[in-house]
């Protein structure tokens, strides 16, 4: 064995008691390192084991918010993040030399926790551009109308309004903390959103629009998600109109400096508590504490908060193993699929034709073909849109040039030949990203909410769960992620106050 390896082995051994090592090994096949490999694992190369009050897994908005809350209460925390950056599903990108958001970017008036952060860190919101006409392509027809209205004929509009009213009446009845307690919960959970839509109307245009709504908002298809989950999600984000709309709704503003800057500012407050490129591989625990094993080292703590996308949380190996309910939940709550694209032009030429750049469609590959994000100085002209749900599944993993061709052709089709020559194109293929494996968030399939749904926030002994999927308010959104992190931190704080023995009593220390 080389001198360097001998040194690494003795460092690790002096920081891990034999019992700790045996405990990790005791997890057998479920732990990524075995006895003889302990010294050669990435962990031992990078750092010795370290003791802290709480380890947080994931530096998305949920993990960052959990860490911030605990730190502000004087607790010692470490945030272990797999990527080489913070922000998770909120990511900085560039087009035509300008900073843009490749992930989450909008904030609305009732997303108060996110608005508080934007204000606290001195960042600025910019109103979504909507002046002019939009084009909606529904049932093979192009409808042009002003602002956000759809341009339906009066009869179709009346029927659509009636359906949305009924939907809102139902979603208003959801108890956010316990949607499984809603009256007729099982009936609603045993049907898909699609089942309910087709029970309400035969109008092809309305059906097309409702399906496009699900693709655009859930990045899943209406035949994939539980209707009870759908109702819960609407209530969690206020209601259907708020989720769909721009003005005074979920898509009201973007952040001038980019949404990613909000995460960067929170991370700056946390400083060296964040360890990047530290994917967590396994977490073991017993009555004395928790051992978190990452590629950058082993951390011991009283409690852990796992703040990763819910379906990905079961790619970490737990000892003892997770209760079956939590594992089933993760297996039946897949991530949605989305590819977000940006297209840059010399100028926003569509504005000269009275268009606001907002293009929607019930046809593949995009429900939200584009919105206008041109900066206040008027150039470059920027459009952004999404390929969602089954269309994203078909287009993920392919060369970006192919998607560029697809998107530009679609824009030419709507906006004319001027759209054929963008000065730049950029996209983010989220399903291809190993630390998200899809986006915007995860949705429950039928029959899950009323069976194992209750396990969504139940701690696994000393492991607490955060992440936007665990939020009751604004689930699936950045605001929900922040709330989930703060909730998990409050749970851990309460336990640190009441349950933790004096330090010397913990044999890890
Ligand atoms: C294209 C797109 C558009 C969106 N638009 C909006 C929008 O406009 N407004 C809005 O509010 N929301 C939007 N969202 C959703 C929003 O971004 C997410 O809901 C939110 O960012 C989730 O935060 P989170 O902290 O829960 O999870 P994440 O951001 O996913 O953070 C989890 C972190 O855990 C890390 N991780 C995963 N596994 C491990 C591991 N084993 N070890 C260590 N680290 C690990 C990941 O790298 C990640 O950094 C959008 C998302 C996408 C992708």
Beta strand pairing status for 424-429 and 338-345? antiparallel
Beta strand pairing status for 338-345 and 317-319? unpaired
Q: What is the pLDDT of residue 151?
A: 80
Claim to verify: residue 341 and residue 382 sit in the same structural domain: yes
Q: What atom of ligand 1 comes closest to residue 114's alpha carbon?
A: 11
d(CA 273, CA 282): 20
Claim to verify: residue 302 and residue 345 sit in the same structural domain: no
d(CA 383, CA 390): 22
d(CA 49, CA 187): 50
Contact predicate 90/101, CB 8 Å: yes
Six-digit token pair at 198?
A: 């087709």
**Residue 285, domain CATH:** 3.50.50.60
Query: Which one-letter DSSP state was computed for residue 72?
Result: H
Is residue 445 situated within a structural domain?
no
- Please confirm whether the linkage preceding 320 is cis (ω < 30° from 0): yes
Is residue 435 situated within a structural domain?
yes
| Centre of ligand 1 from the C-alpha of residue 390, in Å | 20
Helix-helix angle 154-172:204-218, to 10 degrees: 40
Beta strand pairing status for 381-388 and 338-345? antiparallel
Contact predicate 448/76, CB 8 Å: no
Closest CA to 450 of 166, 191, 199: 191
Q: In sequence order, which residues have a C-beta less than 8 Å from that of residue 36 and are 6 or more positions away?
A: none
Claim to verify: residue 432 and residue 484 sit in the same structural domain: no
Claim to verify: residue 139 and residue 207 sit in the same structural domain: no
Determine if ligand 1 sits within 6 Å of the CB of residue 88.
yes
In order of 95, 221, 315, the CA distances from 407 in angstroms are 15, 20, 34
Strand-pairing partners, residue 274, are 79
Determine if ligand 1 sits within 6 Å of the CB of residue 341.
no
Determine if ligand 1 sits within 6 Å of the CB of residue 336.
no
Beta strand pairing status for 125-127 and 253-255? antiparallel
d(CA 35, CA 47): 18
Is residue 249 situated within a structural domain?
no
Claim to verify: residue 305 and residue 345 sit in the same structural domain: no
Determine if ligand 1 sits within 6 Å of the CB of residue 373.
no
Determine if ligand 1 sits within 6 Å of the CB of residue 311.
no
Contact predicate 478/468, CB 8 Å: yes
Determine if ligand 1 sits within 6 Å of the CB of residue 439.
yes
Identify the domain containing residue 344 by its residue range. 134-148+337-439
Which of 198, 215, 244 finishes a domain? 244
| Centre of ligand 1 from the C-alpha of residue 336, in Å | 12
Q: What is the pLDDT of residue 147?
A: 67
| Centre of ligand 1 from the C-alpha of residue 32, in Å | 25
Determine if ligand 1 sits within 6 Å of the CB of residue 101.
no
Which residue among 245, 270, 308 is best mutated to probe the pocket of ligand 1, counting the most ligand atoms within 8 A of its Cβ?
A: 308
Closest CA to 490 of 470, 466, 473, 456: 466
Q: What is the pLDDT of residue 500?
A: 75
Claim to verify: residue 186 and residue 38 sit in the same structural domain: no
Contact predicate 255/126, CB 8 Å: yes
Which residue among 103, 117, 215 is best mutated to probe the pocket of ligand 1, counting the most ligand atoms within 8 A of its Cβ?
A: 103
Contact predicate 444/272, CB 8 Å: no
Helix ranges (H only) for 201-318 are 204-218, 227-236, 240-244, 260-270
Six-digit token pair at 212?
A: 């496009």
Q: What is the pLDDT of residue 86?
A: 98
Which residue among 88, 117, 242, 246 is best mutated to probe the pocket of ligand 1, counting the most ligand atoms within 8 A of its Cβ?
A: 88
Q: Is the dihedral of CA 198, 202, 204, 210 positive or negative?
A: negative
Residue with tokens 């996110």: 114
Q: What atom of ligand 1 comes closest to residue 85's alpha carbon?
A: 49
Claim to verify: residue 464 and residue 407 sit in the same structural domain: no
d(CA 460, CA 145): 51
Claim to verify: residue 302 and residue 269 sit in the same structural domain: yes
Provide φ and ψ at 458, rounded to 5°: -75, 120
Query: Which one-letter DSSP state was computed for residue 448?
Result: S
Contact predicate 508/303, CB 8 Å: no
Claim to verify: residue 420 and residue 464 sit in the same structural domain: no
Closest C-alpha residue for ligand 1 atom 4: 104
Determine if ligand 1 sits within 6 Å of the CB of residue 298.
no
d(CA 316, CA 326): 13
d(CA 24, CA 241): 50
Claim to verify: residue 318 and residue 354 sit in the same structural domain: no
| Centre of ligand 1 from the C-alpha of residue 79, in Å | 15
Contact predicate 20/269, CB 8 Å: no
Six-digit token pair at 179?
A: 């949607």
In tens digits, what is the pLDDT along the chain, a chain of 509 residues? 444 444 443 333 333 333 333 333 333 323 333 322 333 334 434 455 689 999 999 999 999 999 999 999 999 999 999 999 999 999 999 999 999 999 999 999 999 999 999 999 999 999 999 999 999 998 889 989 886 777 889 999 999 999 999 999 999 999 999 999 999 999 999 999 999 999 999 999 999 999 999 999 999 999 999 999 999 999 999 999 999 999 999 999 999 999 999 999 999 999 999 999 999 999 999 999 999 999 999 999 999 999 999 999 999 999 999 999 999 999 999 999 999 999 999 999 999 999 999 999 999 899 999 999 999 999 999 999 999 999 999 999 999 999 999 999 999 999 999 999 999 999 999 999 999 999 999 999 999 999 999 999 999 999 999 999 999 999 999 999 999 999 999 999 999 999 875 444 444 43
Is residue 31 situated within a structural domain?
yes
Six-digit token pair at 271?
A: 């400083």
Alpha carbon 450 to chain centroid, angstroms: 23
Determine if ligand 1 sits within 6 Å of the CB of residue 316.
yes
| Centre of ligand 1 from the C-alpha of residue 291, in Å | 25
Determine if ligand 1 sits within 6 Å of the CB of residue 304.
no
Claim to verify: residue 466 and residue 317 sit in the same structural domain: yes
| Centre of ligand 1 from the C-alpha of residue 104, in Å | 8
Is residue 473 situated within a structural domain?
yes
d(CA 9, CA 169): 63
Q: What atom of ligand 1 comes closest to residue 485's alpha carbon?
A: 25
Q: How many domains does the chain have?
A: 3
| Centre of ligand 1 from the C-alpha of residue 307, in Å | 9
d(CA 158, CA 142): 19
Helix ranges (H only) for 219-343 are 227-236, 240-244, 260-270, 324-331
Per-position DSSP letters for 179-223, written without gaps between them: GGGSTTHHHHHTSBHHHHHHHH---HHHHHHHHHHHHHHHSS-TT
CB atoms within 10 A of CB 434: 10
Q: What atom of ligand 1 comes closest to residue 280's alpha carbon?
A: 42
Is residue 77 situated within a structural domain?
yes
| Centre of ligand 1 from the C-alpha of residue 482, in Å | 11
Claim to verify: residue 407 and residue 343 sit in the same structural domain: yes
């Amino acid at each position: 064995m080389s001198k360097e390896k001998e040194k690494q082995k003795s460092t690790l051994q002096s920081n891990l008691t034999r019992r700790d090592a045996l405990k990790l090994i005791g997890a057998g096949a479920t732990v990524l390192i075995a006895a003889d490999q302990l010294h050669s694992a990435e962990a031992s190369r990078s750092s010795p084991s370290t003791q802290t009050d709480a380890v947080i897994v994931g530096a998305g908005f949920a993990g960052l918010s959990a860490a911030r809350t605990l730190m502000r209460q004087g607790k010692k925390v470490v945030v272990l993040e797999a990527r080489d950056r913070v922000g998770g599903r909120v990511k900085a990108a560039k087009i035509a030399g300008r900073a843009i958001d490749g992930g989450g970017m909008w904030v609305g008036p009732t997303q108060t926790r996110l608005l508080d952060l934007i204000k606290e860190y001195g960042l600025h919101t910019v109103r979504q551009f909507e002046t002019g006409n939009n084009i909606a392509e529904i049932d093979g027809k192009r409808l042009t109308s002003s602002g956000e209205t759809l341009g339906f004929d009066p009869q179709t509009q009346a029927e659509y309004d009636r359906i949305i009213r009924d939907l809102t009446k139902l979603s208003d009845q959801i108890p956010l903390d316990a949607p499984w307690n809603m009256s007729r919960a099982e009936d609603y959970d045993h049907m898909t959103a699609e089942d309910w839509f087709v029970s309400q109307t035969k109008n092809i245009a309305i059906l097309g629009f409702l399906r496009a709504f699900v693709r655009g908002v859930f990045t899943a298809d209406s035949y994939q998600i539980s209707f009870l989950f759908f109702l819960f999600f609407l209530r969690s984000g206020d209601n259907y109109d708020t989720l769909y709309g721009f003005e005074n709704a979920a898509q009201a503003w973007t952040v001038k400096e980019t949404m990613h800057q909000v995460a960067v500012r929170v991370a700056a407050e946390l400083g060296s508590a964040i360890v990047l490129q530290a994917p967590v591989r396994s977490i073991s625990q017993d009555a004395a504490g928790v051992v978190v094993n990452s590629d950058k080292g082993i951390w011991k703590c009283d409690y852990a908060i796992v703040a990763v996308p819910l379906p990905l949380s079961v790619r970490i190996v737990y000892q003892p193993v997770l209760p079956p309910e939590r594992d089933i939940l993760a297996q039946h709550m897949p991530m949605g699929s989305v590819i977000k694209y940006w297209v840059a032009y010399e100028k926003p030429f569509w504005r000269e034709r009275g268009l606001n750049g907002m293009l929607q469609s019930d046809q593949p590959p995009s429900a939200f073909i584009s919105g206008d994000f041109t900066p206040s100085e008027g150039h470059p002209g920027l459009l952004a849109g999404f390929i969602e749900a089954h269309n994203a599944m078909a287009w993920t993993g392919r060369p970006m040039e192919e998607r560029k061709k697809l998107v530009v052709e679609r824009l030419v089709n709507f906006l004319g030949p001027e759209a054929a020559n963008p000065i730049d194109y950029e996209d983010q293929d989220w399903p291809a990203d190993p630390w998200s494996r899809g986006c915007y968030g995860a949705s429950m399939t039928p029959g899950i909410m009323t069976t194992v749904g209750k396990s969504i926030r139940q701690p696994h002994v000393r492991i607490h769960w955060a992440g936007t999927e665990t939020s009751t308010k604004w689930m699936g959104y950045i605001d929900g992620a922040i709330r989930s992190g703060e909730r998990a931190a409050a749970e851990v704080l309460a336990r640190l106050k009441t349950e933790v023995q004096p330090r010397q009593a913990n044999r890890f220390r």
